[in-house]
Amino acid sequence: MTTEADVKREIVKSMTSDKGYARRLEDQYGVGIFDLILIPFGLPVFMAEVKIIKGDFFGPTPRQAIELQRIQDVGAFKGHVIPLMIGWRDGIYYFHSPKMKIDRRECFSVTTTDLPFYKQIVLYYYSIRSKYES
């Protein structure tokens, strides 16, 4: 059975092998702290929370939602820092802006296990970047 730690480990490995930056944030006392800082080469910073999807829905804890919303309110202007929910199920990554209840069927996903995570997050960025351009 794949754990959240396994998924985060694979994300970090993919990011760093493709010249991106990835850092897991581990703090057992940091209530609401998101899981990862991700920086694809030449693109904005993503502050990401990772969840294993059981069924069709996933989302942050209430405190994580507050933290991700604070990032959205302050850092997402012009897309410098982008808060992100990443769901994982059966080898597939699902990308969505943070909200309490996310339906995986409404997420950006390449629906393949053949494309490395790094390339998937880059594709996700290009799918959303118009909302940050003015």
- How much is the mean pLDDT over the chain? 91
Tens digit of pLDDT for each residue in 66-88? 999 988 888 766 678 999 999 99
Domain limits, the chain: 4-129
Assign 132 a pLDDT band (cuts: 50, 70, 90): low
List Cβ<8 Å contacts ≥24 apart for 98-101.
98/49, 98/60, 98/64, 98/65, 98/68, 98/69, 98/72, 99/59, 99/65, 100/59, 100/60, 100/62, 100/65, 101/57, 101/59
Assign 112 a pLDDT band (cuts: 50, 70, 90): confident
Which one of 3.50.50.60, 1.10.10.10, 3.40.1350.10, 3.30.930.10 gives the CATH number of domain 4-129?
3.40.1350.10
0.85 exceeded by pTM: yes
